[in-house]
RNA sequence: GCUGAAGUGGUGGAAUUGGUAGACACGUUGGACUUAAAAUCCAAUGAACAGUAAUGUUCGUGCGGGUUCAAGUCCCGCCUUCAGUACCA
């Protein structure tokens, strides 16, 4: 059979045959890429040096979680961008640290273990190997000598070590620093809590030095938990029954779990917590010192949620109780006509009167049963109930009723508000709904329909000593007065809550804690790592304990200092170990420090190396970590800084968020209940359901290779297709790239067909790095064409030929324009326009038939960060014996860029002015002369005198004629 | 609702930050080469109108105003899309 016929028959479908046709014409990227990848690997070309006299540059990617699905073309975008920068900085003479590792603890490996019984470490190992293969094909300049995995004991022993440092630290609010716990103990021994300025739990009792000394050892330890940076506390947590674990606030999205989308409920549990709230102010202020994207900073600011106001205490009439509230509007104190408590508030039971008890109980129960979701979707519905009790207004002494309403959140502020219906819309609606009186305290403002919430120039009325003051004056005056009479104080409130640190999971870092008499104790430091034990089953135990409860060997012998079987727990000096593990964000909260000294056995990193490498100069990763990893890691860094372990309290000077590369899903339509599939244009008037088709079976004009679909899914062999003009046309839709949508494009396939250099440049060429953009394989031919042209500049037929003649000024201009543009673009991370600049240059050189060494050699260097393989190959062919990776980058020579003459007249505005392009050094006389010399201009001026020459920035002049 | 980002050809996107709008690429059309296809090269390609033609004119950066010799870019008022957040007192 004639092979040509096969090509014709399948050419519109079969990309494989397309590809082989490309290859016959393309430069031999397959062999070149293999050659240089193994050259770089065996020469350790990219290992970062220490010590070094060179200036350092630290460029890092957010390390990947190695999932089972492998990489798709969307994943490497950020790595490509950072790799261009890393290689560029090497050419610029920097000692570059460009590491990579794996965030390898996580849920998917554990879920897989639950289903199959395979140990998560095995799954993880397989996935990592696959990731590494895929990454290696793209020619990254990673220093793999510094690779680590967060699930490796040699790494997580230091995660555990940091946990210990946090456990042994407290926050001194006077000097705004975390300090060793011993300092706190010394203070307690000497003075009790007197003059102690510490960030601690709200309900911590004050004690005297004598009281402290009289406490037992256990009681002292229990007391210290109120101060430690990581502490054990009974708290409301987001419990996800389906996942069988608690979730951090940022892991809950719209009331369901981020991973899996399962419902989340509130539950009280004893959990390890991180006292991140003590760093709220510093996390906020630190944002002003780092060059991160403004939207991301804004997200963190909102998440921290600083609000300035005051706490005010109201005594409850006829009860020995006080209600403390937080308000941002102390100026509206005289507008308070009722109080509202969250249904979960501690005082609810105590203060509700007997005749209201039944109603209150019912309401509290009803609110408790409503899920977060219901509450959110039901914002409009106003509900509440009166307690029967009254609070005494601290200024007016009047009695105001105390209500319960679920619009007040237990988790924010004090869980109670002073309600000012005239000044707050929710209070207003609540008051209207329940017919509670509304007092107007604003001068000349109408409040019949809505509360008056603007502050502006409003003056306060009806408010005793605040009358006539504006909002900010009244706020100051009110706080001053409250402080004088002891009923309140100025206060800054944050939305940021302490972070839950326990997970009821197997595949995470064990927490290095054992319990003696129910009191948590740290393992001795030299006993780390506390290795993850083997278990039979990865599910919780029958009694509901976390999976580590299944371990046979999971008890601590305090004297022998080692892990022993659980069955020995009743023996002397043997105690239970903590069963919870750390959350996913633990390992990633300090990893940037580890890269500086990844193989250190004796410390998490050597201080000299931390000092030398300093801050990450460029950190590239997705913005989805804004309120998770990127906040937690800043927090840990600040703690480590306070305790003197790291040299700076912000770890990344510049952050770039790369946008997602989206998939282009394809759908055909199945007639409901049949095996008949319709082309997208035929669905009118039919009952159909859209069916995803794997995009590898769809070509760029949306034609589906329906006769090959059965290769993908055997059931299509039985299907019938209704075609349009003989073709099955798919409907396209841009969505997130995902396995389940069958729109995944595998970088391996692209490397096979087009080569890694082409893939690298094409991903950058797609658009601005920060922007989300759809993948479209069709466009990639332009980049391959560019690299082929570039290759051909050096070749005559298959023969390598370059000329040593002097290049022409036009060629030099083309080269130096490109050098200038590309260098600028890299510095500004505008990598898509840099790629365009290369294309323009090569087009110009091609039409000029340029093969001069003086042009091509610097151009090869210039292109090397983008397309390293082809450039190394050409560099070698140019006669160099050294790799080009650390050759000095070419510099733009301005002398080649000079414009020598006025170019052309551009446009008339119709009457008196026209505009011409000119050079920076052109004089006014030159302009006049040029204007008159130009035929068209002279014709227009028609002998009239030039009245005025207006030189507007750089390039353009306006000439006014009279 | 609030906060943030963005709206430019058939498509992805450029535009030195107020100065020739649509670079570069895809796609499309035509041509060269070829028995043919692929590949490669060359040309055209925002819209409308006029002209055999070279060319010219008008309109064009979501909509409506404004500032300016000059606006995609700045100001005011809208509309739309995306993202984050949500009863935060």
Q: What stretches of A584-714 adopt beta strand conformation (E)?
A: 618-621, 655-657, 661-671, 676-678, 688-693, 703-704
Pairing mode of beta strands A265-274, A499-500: antiparallel
Higher pLDDT, A949 or A608: A608
Q: How many CB atoms lie within 10 A of CB A882?
A: 9
Over the stretch A119-172, which tens digit does the pLDDT of each residue have?
999 999 999 999 999 999 999 999 999 999 999 999 999 999 999 999 999 999
Per-residue three-class SS string for A191-221: HCCCCCCEECCCCCCCCCHHHHHHCCHHHHH
Residue A83 φ/ψ, nearest 5 degrees: -70, -40
B72 C1' to A780 CA distance, Å:
28
B68 C1' to A905 CA distance, Å:
22
Question: Which of these, A80, A87, A28, lies nearest to A762 by C-alpha position?
Answer: A80
Over the stretch A749-807, which tens digit does the pLDDT of each residue have?
999 999 999 999 999 999 999 998 889 888 899 999 999 999 999 988 778 999 999 99
Residue nearest to nucleotide B14 (CA to C1'): A833
DSSP A577: B
Query: Cα–Cα distance between A860 and A878 in angstroms, integer?
Result: 10
Residue with tokens 């209150």: A360
Query: Cα–Cα distance between A558 and A523 in angstroms, integer?
Result: 9
Query: CA torsion angle for A285, A288, A292, A295 (degrees, to 10)?
Result: 80
Higher pLDDT, A862 or A776: A862
B44 C1' to A133 CA distance, Å:
45
Higher pLDDT, A264 or A430: A430
**Across all strands, nucleotide nearest A375 (CA–C1'):** B87
Q: Is the pLDDT of residue A874 over 60?
A: yes
Residue nearest to nucleotide B86 (CA to C1'): A376
**Across all strands, nucleotide nearest A420 (CA–C1'):** B89
Give bridge partners of residue A520 from the DSSP assignment.
A515
B41 C1' to A859 CA distance, Å:
23
Cβ-contact A74, A772 below 8 angstroms? no
Q: How many CB atoms lie within 10 A of CB A830?
A: 18
Higher pLDDT, A621 or A736: A621
Banded model confidence at residue A679, pLDDT cuts 50, 70, 90 = confident
- The mean pLDDT of A643-666, rounded to a whole number, is 93
Q: Is the pLDDT of residue A516 over 90?
A: yes
What is the model's pLDDT at position A13? 32
**Across all strands, nucleotide nearest A407 (CA–C1'):** B87
Residue nearest to nucleotide B25 (CA to C1'): A782
Question: Which of these, A421, A407, A588, lies nearest to A509 by C-alpha position?
Answer: A588
The average confidence (pLDDT) of chain A is 87
Cα–chain center distance at A928: 57
Angle between helix axes A868-877 and A29-43 (nearest 10 degrees) is 90
Query: Cα–Cα distance between A447 and A351 in angstroms, integer?
Result: 32
What is the model's pLDDT at position A372? 58
- The mean pLDDT of A840-844, rounded to a whole number, is 92
Give bridge partners of residue A803 from the DSSP assignment.
A852
What is the model's pLDDT at position A933? 55
Cβ-contact A61, A100 below 8 angstroms? yes
**Across all strands, nucleotide nearest A844 (CA–C1'):** B24
Higher pLDDT, A375 or A300: A300
Higher pLDDT, A446 or A532: A532
Question: Which of these, A849, A873, A735, A945, lies nearest to A74 by C-alpha position?
Answer: A735
Question: Which of these, A346, A345, A314, lies nearest to A327 by C-alpha position?
Answer: A314
Query: Cα–Cα distance between A845 and A850 in angstroms, integer?
Result: 5
**Across all strands, nucleotide nearest A309 (CA–C1'):** B89
B32 C1' to A34 CA distance, Å:
37
The nucleotides of chain B lying under 7 Å from a protein CB are 3-5, 11-16, 18-21, 23-28, 36-42, 58, 69-70, 82-89
The two most distant CA atoms of chain A are separated, in Å, by 113
**Across all strands, nucleotide nearest A408 (CA–C1'):** B87
Higher pLDDT, A180 or A662: A180
Contacts 24+ apart (CB under 8 A), A374-381: A375/A406, A376/A254, A376/A255
**Across all strands, nucleotide nearest A493 (CA–C1'):** B88
Q: What angle do CA A882, A888, A891 make, to 5 degrees?
A: 140
What is the model's pLDDT at position A902? 38
**Across all strands, nucleotide nearest A769 (CA–C1'):** B13
Residue nearest to nucleotide B40 (CA to C1'): A25
Angle between helix axes A629-642 and A153-167 (nearest 10 degrees) is 60
Sign, CA dihedral A679-A682-A683-A687, equals negative
Query: Cα–Cα distance between A544 and A532 in angstroms, integer?
Result: 19
Over the stretch A350-395, which tens digit does the pLDDT of each residue have?
999 999 999 999 998 888 776 555 665 566 678 899 999 999 999 9
**Across all strands, nucleotide nearest A494 (CA–C1'):** B88
B88 C1' to A307 CA distance, Å:
9
Lowest-confidence pick of A281-285, A409-413, A870-874: A409-413
Q: Is the pLDDT of residue A906 over 70?
A: no
- The mean pLDDT of A36-48, rounded to a whole number, is 96
B45 C1' to A700 CA distance, Å:
20
**Across all strands, nucleotide nearest A762 (CA–C1'):** B25
Over the stretch A313-335, which tens digit does the pLDDT of each residue have?
999 999 999 999 999 999 999 99
Residue nearest to nucleotide B23 (CA to C1'): A836
What is the model's pLDDT at position A252? 77
Burial profile A659-691: b = 16 or more Cβ within 10 angstroms, e = fewer: bbbbbbbbbbbbbeeeeebbbbebbeeeebebe
Over the stretch A203-245, which tens digit does the pLDDT of each residue have?
889 999 999 999 999 999 999 999 999 999 887 778 888 888 8
B42 C1' to A840 CA distance, Å:
17
B40 C1' to A796 CA distance, Å:
14
Q: DSSP labels for A788-819?
A: HHHHHHTEETTEE--B-SPPPHHHHHHHHHHH
Residue nearest to nucleotide B12 (CA to C1'): A766
Query: Cα–Cα distance between A834 and A842 in angstroms, integer?
Result: 13
Burial profile A450-478: b = 16 or more Cβ within 10 angstroms, e = fewer: ebbeeeeebbbbebeebeebebeebbebb
Residue with tokens 């055909």: A668
Residue nearest to nucleotide B19 (CA to C1'): A956
Banded model confidence at residue A959, pLDDT cuts 50, 70, 90 = low
Q: Count of alpha carbons within 13 Å of A43, Cβ hemisphere only?
A: 12
Q: Is the pLDDT of residue A514 over 90?
A: yes
Is A597 in a helix, a strand, or coil?
helix
Cα A597 to Cα A153, A166, A359, A366, A605: the distances in Å are: 16, 21, 63, 55, 5
**Across all strands, nucleotide nearest A960 (CA–C1'):** B69
Over the stretch A573-614, which tens digit does the pLDDT of each residue have?
999 999 999 999 999 999 999 999 999 999 999 999 999 999
B38 C1' to A17 CA distance, Å:
11
Higher pLDDT, A884 or A372: A884
Rg (CA), chain A: 35
Q: Is the pLDDT of residue A9 over 60?
A: no
Query: Cα–Cα distance between A623 and A625 in angstroms, integer?
Result: 5
B40 C1' to A907 CA distance, Å:
39
Residue A582 φ/ψ, nearest 5 degrees: -80, 160
Q: DSSP labels for A682-749?
A: G-TT--EEEEEE-GGGB-TT-EE-GGGHHHH-GGGGG-EEE-BTTBEEPEEEEEE--GGGT----HHH
What is the model's pLDDT at position A365? 86
B63 C1' to A294 CA distance, Å:
28
Query: Cα–Cα distance between A880 and A872 in angstroms, integer?
Result: 10
Lowest-confidence pick of A643-657, A711-725, A761-775: A711-725
**Across all strands, nucleotide nearest A307 (CA–C1'):** B88
ipTM: 0.94
Query: Cα–Cα distance between A373 and A408 in angstroms, integer?
Result: 16
B67 C1' to A920 CA distance, Å:
28
B71 C1' to A952 CA distance, Å:
15
Residue nearest to nucleotide B83 (CA to C1'): A295
B57 C1' to A42 CA distance, Å:
67
B72 C1' to A733 CA distance, Å:
28
Cβ-contact A565, A555 below 8 angstroms? yes
B62 C1' to A680 CA distance, Å:
30
- The mean pLDDT of A538-557, rounded to a whole number, is 92
Q: What angle do CA A312, A317, A321 make, to 5 degrees?
A: 60
Q: Is the pLDDT of residue A253 over 80?
A: no
Lowest-confidence pick of A251-265, A377-391, A732-746, A940-954: A940-954
Lowest-confidence pick of A7-11, A328-332, A415-419, A625-629: A7-11
Cα–chain center distance at A869: 31
pLDDT cut 90: percent of chain A above it: 64
Residue nearest to nucleotide B87 (CA to C1'): A407
Higher pLDDT, A55 or A913: A55
Higher pLDDT, A754 or A906: A754
Query: Cα–Cα distance between A157 and A93 in angstroms, integer?
Result: 36
Q: Count of alpha carbons within 13 Å of A928, Cβ hemisphere only?
A: 12
- The mean pLDDT of A730-754, rounded to a whole number, is 88
Query: Cα–Cα distance between A684 and A722 in angstroms, integer?
Result: 13
Banded model confidence at residue A897, pLDDT cuts 50, 70, 90 = confident
Query: Cα–Cα distance between A366 and A362 in angstroms, integer?
Result: 6
Residue nearest to nucleotide B82 (CA to C1'): A772
**Across all strands, nucleotide nearest A701 (CA–C1'):** B27
- The mean pLDDT of A23-28, rounded to a whole number, is 65
Residue nearest to nucleotide B13 (CA to C1'): A767
B20 C1' to A299 CA distance, Å:
41
Q: Is the pLDDT of residue A20 over 60?
A: no
B47 C1' to A926 CA distance, Å:
38
Cα–chain center distance at A569: 43
What is the model's pLDDT at position A376? 59
Burial profile A760-769: b = 16 or more Cβ within 10 angstroms, e = fewer: bbbbbbbeeb
B20 C1' to A913 CA distance, Å:
15
pLDDT cut 70: percent of chain A above it: 89
Q: Is the pLDDT of residue A828 over 70?
A: yes
| Residue A838 neighbours by CB under 8 Å, 6+ apart | A786, A790, A818, A822, A862, A863, A866
B68 C1' to A925 CA distance, Å:
26
**Across all strands, nucleotide nearest A255 (CA–C1'):** B86
**Across all strands, nucleotide nearest A378 (CA–C1'):** B87
Query: Cα–Cα distance between A421 and A430 in angstroms, integer?
Result: 8
Residue nearest to nucleotide B16 (CA to C1'): A821
What is the model's pLDDT at position A898? 60
**Across all strands, nucleotide nearest A784 (CA–C1'):** B25
Q: Is the pLDDT of residue A22 over 80?
A: no
Cβ-contact A402, A351 below 8 angstroms? yes
Banded model confidence at residue A31, pLDDT cuts 50, 70, 90 = very high
């Amino acid at each position: 059979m004639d092979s040509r016929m096969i090509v014709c028959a399948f050419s519109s479908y079969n990309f494989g045959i397309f590809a082989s046709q490309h290859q016959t014409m393309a430069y031999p990227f397959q062999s070149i890429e293999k050659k240089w990848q193994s050259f770089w690997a065996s020469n350790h070309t990219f290992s970062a040096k220490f010590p070094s006299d060179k200036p350092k540059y630290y460029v890092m990617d957010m390390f990947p979680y190695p999932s089972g699905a492998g990489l798709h073309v969307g994943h490497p975008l950020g790595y490509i961008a950072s790799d261009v920068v890393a290689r560029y900085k090497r050419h610029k003479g920097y000692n570059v640290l460009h590491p990579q590792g794996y965030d390898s603890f996580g849920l998917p490996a554990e879920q897989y273990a639950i289903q199959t019984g395979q140990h998560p470490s095995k799954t993880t190992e397989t996935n990592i190997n696959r990731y590494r293969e895929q990454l290696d094909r793209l020619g990254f300049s990673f220093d793999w000598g510094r690779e680590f995995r967060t699930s490796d004991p040699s790494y997580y022993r230091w995660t555990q070590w940091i946990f210990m440092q946090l456990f042994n630290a407290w926050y001194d609010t006077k000097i705004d620093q975390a300090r060793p716990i011993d300092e706190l103990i010394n203070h307690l021994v000497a003075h009790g809590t007197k003059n102690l300025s510490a960030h601690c739990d709200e309900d911590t009792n004050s004690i005297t030095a004598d009281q402290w000394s009289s406490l037992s050892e256990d009681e002292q330890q229990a007391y210290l938990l109120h101060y430690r940076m990581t502490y054990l506390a009974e708290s409301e947590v987001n419990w996800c029954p389906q996942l069988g674990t608690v979730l951090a606030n940022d892991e809950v999205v719209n009331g369901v779990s981020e991973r899996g989308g399962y419902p989340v409920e509130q539950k009280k549990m004893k959990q390890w917590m991180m006292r991140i709230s003590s760093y709220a102010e510093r996390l906020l202020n630190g944002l002003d010192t780092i060059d991160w994207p403004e939207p991301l900073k804004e997200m963190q600011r909102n998440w921290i949620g600083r609000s300035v106001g005051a706490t005010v205490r109201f005594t409850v009439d006829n009860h020995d109780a006080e209600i403390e509230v937080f308000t941002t509007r102390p100026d509206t104190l005289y507008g308070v006509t009722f109080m509202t408590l969250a249904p979960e508030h501690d005082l609810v039971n105590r203060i509700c009167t007997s005749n209201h008890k039944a109603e209150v109980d019912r309401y509290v129960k009803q609110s408790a049963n409503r899920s977060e979701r219901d509450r959110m979707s039901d914002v409009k519905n106003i509900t509440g109930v009166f307690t029967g009790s009254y609070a005494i207004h601290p200024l007016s002494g009047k009695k105001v009723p105390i209500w319960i309403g679920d619009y007040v959140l237990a988790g924010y502020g004090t869980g109670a508000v002073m309600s000012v219906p005239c000044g707050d819309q929710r209070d207003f609606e609540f008051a209207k709904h329940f017919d509670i009186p509304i007092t107007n305290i604003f001068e000349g403002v109408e409040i019949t329909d809505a509360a008056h919430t603007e502050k502006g120039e409003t003056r306060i009325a009806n408010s005793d000593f605040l009358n006539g003051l504006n909002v900010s004056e009244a706020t100051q005056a009110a706080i001053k007065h409250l402080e004088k009479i002891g009923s309140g104080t100025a206060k800054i409130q944050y939305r940021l809550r302490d972070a839950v640190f326990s997970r009821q999971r197997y595949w995470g870092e064990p927490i290095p804690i054992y319990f003696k008499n129910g009191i948590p104790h740290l393992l001795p430091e030299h006993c780390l790592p506390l290795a993850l034990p083997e278990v039979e089953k990865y599910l919780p135990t029958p009694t509901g304990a976390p999976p580590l409860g299944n371990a046979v060997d999971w008890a601590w012998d305090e004297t022998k200092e080692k892990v022993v079987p659980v069955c020995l727990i009743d023996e002397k000096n043997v105690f239970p170990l903590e069963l919870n593990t750390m959350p996913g964000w633990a390992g990633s909260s300090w990893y940037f420090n580890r890269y500086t000294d990844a193989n250190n056995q004796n410390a998490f990193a050597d201080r000299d190396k931390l000092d030398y490498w300093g801050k990450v100069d460029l950190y590239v990763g997705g913005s989805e970590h804004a309120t998770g990893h990127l906040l937690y890691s800043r927090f840990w860094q600040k703690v480590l800084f306070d305790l003197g372990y790291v040299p700076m309290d912000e770890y990344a000077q510049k952050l770039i968020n790369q946008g997602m590369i989206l998939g282009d899903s394809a759908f055909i339509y199945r007639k409901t209940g049949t095996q008949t599939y319709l082309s997208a244009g035929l669905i009118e008037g039919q009952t159909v359901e859209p069916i995803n088709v794997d995009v590898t079976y769809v070509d760029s004009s949306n034609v589906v290779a329906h006769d090959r679909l059965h290769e993908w899914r055997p059931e299509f062999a039985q299907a019938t297709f209704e075609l349009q003009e003989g073709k099955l046309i798919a409907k396209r839709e841009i969505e997130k790239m995902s396995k389940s949508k069958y729109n995944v494009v595998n970088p391996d396939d692209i490397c096979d067909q087009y080569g890694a250099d082409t893939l690298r440049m094409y991903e950058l060429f797609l658009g601005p790095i920060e922007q989300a953009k759809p993948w479209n394989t069709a466009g990639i031919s332009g980049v391959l064409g560019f690299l082929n042209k570039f290759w051909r500049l050096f070749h005559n037929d298959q023969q390598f030929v370059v000329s040593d003649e002097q290049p022409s000024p036009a060629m030099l201009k083309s080269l130096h324009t490109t050098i200038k543009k590309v260098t600028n673009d890299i510095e500004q991370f505008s990598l898509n326009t840099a790629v365009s600049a290369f294309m323009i240059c090569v087009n110009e050189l091609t039409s000029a038939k340029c093969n001069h060494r003086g042009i091509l050699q610097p151009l090869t260097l210039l292109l090397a960060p983008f397309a390293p393989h082809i450039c190394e190959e050409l560099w070698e062919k140019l006669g160099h014996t050294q790799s080009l990776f650390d050759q000095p980058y070419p510099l733009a020579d301005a002398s080649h860029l000079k414009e020598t003459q006025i170019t052309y007249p551009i446009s008339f505005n119709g009457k008196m002015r026209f505009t011409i392009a000119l050079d920076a050094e052109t004089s006014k006389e030159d302009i006049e002369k040029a204007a008159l010399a130009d035929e068209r201009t002279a014709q227009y001026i028609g002998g009239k005198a030039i009245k005025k020459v207006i030189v507007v920035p750089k390039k353009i002049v306006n000439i006014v004629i009279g």
